[in-house]
Structure 1
Amino acid sequence: MFRLKDTEQLFRMSTSQGKALSEGRPLRADARRNRARVLVAAETVLAREGLGASMRAIAQEAGVGLGTIYRHFPTQEDLYEAIIVDRAQRLLSQAAALLEAEDAGAAFFGFLTDIVVDATRRKGMADVLADAGIDIKAGMSEASSAMREAIQSLLTRAQQSGAVREDLLMPELLALLSALYMAAERNQWNVELRARTLAIVFDGCRPHH
């Protein structure tokens, strides 16, 4: 069963936080907060200004000094990659929390919805990283594996509760989810279209008596 602690090893990548953790030097609480603020600010500024955004502008948005950014992210590439990793980590943490939800069906369909919502937000950042020559898939194979395990756990729980048809298997579910994700990302679905499309797909996932 997927658990929150299973995500701990997935994100020790090429950022200073990952290096600190791998060397047994966890970041202090204030450093973790600063890093999180920088990631949120960077995503906001890059979505607004694109690759022309400066590290100084990101520092101002985050309310931290420029040196704070460089301590965590020595290069812009480190920062960009960390943004993608952080988004995946947030989704995985959310999945772990949903495994404790009382309504297994709502948790399952809610998480799939959140993945599709993330697709519409991700396009701008993905375009920025691609323009910078950064392979956003690099180093994410473990995160992808953890995401599949999380979805499998939520699916199993939802099927056991009777909220999802028993003959829905992971290959079919992942095919549906991939198609939804790519369509939402490329076409930037609005809220209404996303809601209608997901309602139809989710209806097909439910038992029909």
Structure 2
Amino acid sequence: MDTEKKPLRADARRNYDRLLDEARRAFAARGVEASLEEIARNAGVGIGTLYRHFPTREALVETVLRERFDEQAAAARELLKSPEPLKALEAWLAGLGKQSATYRGLPELMADVLDDETSPLYASCHAMQDGVSHLVERAKAAGELRADVTAHELLVLLHALSWAGEYLSGDKGLDRLLDLVFAGLRVS
């Protein structure tokens, strides 16, 4: 059985691209719970077209964020070369925290799907968990990170911090929360 997707016709490709552009705008303005009907309408297509390309909200969110997920995975691989394992882990988590805080509602959605194997976001979340696992283990092996910390806990905590950062005043809300958490993760 052929598992490769057929290339989209030109008109279907335009619809797909317009839907993604409108989704990015809607998510930026109203968060990941933005109206799918409005996204389809603003893209100039019917809701059926949106669902043909993206059968669920999570599938649309995953596609919108796929490039960012790939960048985070690449960053984890690059940071494994750092001579300072804990600083590398902190840098990766800070980058993911900023990504998670991009769209209102995204941290909650990401935390929800960490254990939901049926979600289109599950594979992306676990690819990131695999990436951060190597950074976590490296920092533990260097004696810089508490031995009882897991990558899964850090991801859940990070999503919670990204959500909470929305409620602190100023642009440094998330950075301040991350600093507090990192201080508690270090081996004294």
Q: Give the TM-score normalised by structure 1.
A: 0.57
Matched, 1:93 2:70: yes
Matched, 1:151 2:122: no
Aligned to 1:185: 163
Q: Kindly indicate whether the alpha-carbon contact (under 8 Å) linking 1:165 and 1:205 is maintained by their aligned counterparts in 2.
A: yes
Distance 2:153 2:89 in 1: 16
SS of residue in 2 equivalent to 1:85: helix
Could you list the runs of 5+ residues in structure 2 that have no partner in the other structure? none
Change (3 A) 1:194 1:94: same
Q: Kindly indicate whether the alpha-carbon contact (under 8 Å) linking 2:166 and 2:173 is maintained by their aligned counterparts in 1.
A: no
1:174 maps to amino acid: H
Distance 2:106 2:185 in 1: 31
Q: Kindly indicate whether the alpha-carbon contact (under 8 Å) linking 1:159 and 1:165 is maintained by their aligned counterparts in 2.
A: yes
Give the stretch that moved more between structures: 45-54 or 92-101.
Answer: 45-54
Q: Kindly indicate whether the alpha-carbon contact (under 8 Å) linking 2:19 and 2:43 is maintained by their aligned counterparts in 1.
A: yes
Q: Kindly indicate whether the alpha-carbon contact (under 8 Å) linking 1:116 and 1:184 is maintained by their aligned counterparts in 2.
A: yes
More helix by share: 1
CA RMSD of aligned residues (A): 4.1
Could you list the runs of 5+ residues in structure 1 that have no partner in the other structure? 1-21, 60-65, 130-134
Distance 2:29 2:103 in 1: 13
SS of residue in 1 equivalent to 2:74: helix
Q: Give the TM-score normalised by structure 2.
A: 0.62
Change (3 A) 1:74 1:45: same
SS of residue in 2 equivalent to 1:118: helix
Aligned length: 168
The CA deviation at 1:119 is 3.4
Q: Kindly indicate whether the alpha-carbon contact (under 8 Å) linking 2:73 and 2:128 is maintained by their aligned counterparts in 1.
A: no
Which structure has more relative contact order (CA 8 Å, sep 6+)? It is 1
Change (3 A) 1:178 1:163: same
Matched, 1:58 2:38: no
Identity of aligned residues (%): 20
Distance 2:39 2:66 in 1: 25
| Residues 41-63 of structure 1: per-residue CA shift (max 9 Å, x gap) | 3121254363262424135xxxx
